Amino acid sequence: MSERLLAKLRERFGASVLETHSHLGDDTAVVDPARWKEICAFLRDDPACDMQMLVDLCGADYPDRTPRLEVVLHLYSIARRHRLRLKARVGDEDAEGAEIDSVVDLWQGANWFERETYDMFGVKFRGHPDLRRILMYPEFEGHPLLKTYPANKTQPLVAYRTEEEAGVPLEKLAPFGDDEGMSFGRKNGDATGDATNGEA
């Protein structure tokens, strides 16, 4: 059904559709980020596509690729009951400079999804009316879902107390020691990089 969609996209946008595949029943098109909004508008407004609903918009990080980040968009047509996954690759090898057009004008629901993707991956959406963090607090530094963001890093809003400040012995000092709790080391990328990390 929606393989025709992919054919239509290739026909209409030619070289801007970089890659297509249909795997496990999901049809995917990887497109040129420069034409992102144009392609989205076409998918929404073309009567044969009729993608009235933006189901999901999220990011994904592939640290060994350049461009490193992917913006993944899932579209659905309620009337025609077909789905399409649209992806665009953005950002350099350090996930810097990731920018793409916002699609809030096309689907109002994109507003929060784009804010979340910005919050988690640092992708900037050009033309978004209100691009600020949504899940993390404004003082937070970095983007937590990047593979290079250490999973065991803490950023407390109020600094942890030391024993000198408290004036009494504290039973436990935070952040907790490396030898405590679950090892976050199944895959590397953690801050400490000591013996608790590495192969589990």
Partner 1 sequence: MEPVDLDLEESALELPAEPMHLNLGPAHPAMHGTVRIVLELSGETIEKADVQIGYLHRGFEKMCERGTWAQVFPYADRLNYVSPMLNNVGYALAVEKLCDIEVPDRCQWYRMALGELARISDHLTCTGAMAMELGAFTPFLWFVKAREMVWDILEEETGARLTHSFGRIGGMARPPTPAFKELVRGSTKEILSLLEQGEKMLLKNRIFIDRLENVGNISQADAISLSWTGPCLRSTGCSYDVRKAHPYLKYDEVDFTVPVGTRGDSLDRFLVRLDEIRQSVRILDQVCDRMADEGPVSADDPRVMLPEKDAVYTTIEGTIQHFKLVMEGAKVPAGECYSYTEGGNGELGFYLVSDGSGTPHRVRIRPPCFSITGGLSKIIMGRMLSDIVPTFGALNMIGGECDH
Report which of 30, 24, 34 is spatially closest to residue 10, judged by C-alpha positions: 30
Among 53, 124, 178, 191, binds partner 1 (CB under 8 A): 53
Please identify, using beta-carbon distances, which residue of 169 and 180 lies nearer to partner 1.
Answer: 180
Asked if 4 touches partner 1 (CB under 8 A), the answer is: no
Instruction: Please list, in sequence order, all residues whose beta carbon lies within 8 angstroms of the beta carbon of residue 134, skipping any fewer than 6 positions away.
Output: 112, 115, 116, 119
Asked if 184 touches partner 1 (CB under 8 A), the answer is: yes
Among 67, 151, 178, 191, binds partner 1 (CB under 8 A): 151
Question: How many chain residues bind partner 1 (CB under 8 A)?
Answer: 42
Asked if 30 touches partner 1 (CB under 8 A), the answer is: no
Asked if 69 touches partner 1 (CB under 8 A), the answer is: no
Asked if 157 touches partner 1 (CB under 8 A), the answer is: no
Cα torsion at 59, 34, 55, 95 (round to 10°)?
10
Q: Contact at 8 Å (CB) between 45 and 131? A: no
Positions touching partner 1 (CB under 8 A) are 23-26, 28, 52-56, 58, 60-61, 72, 74, 78, 81, 83, 85, 107-113, 116, 120, 133-137, 144-145, 147, 149, 151, 184, 186-187, 200
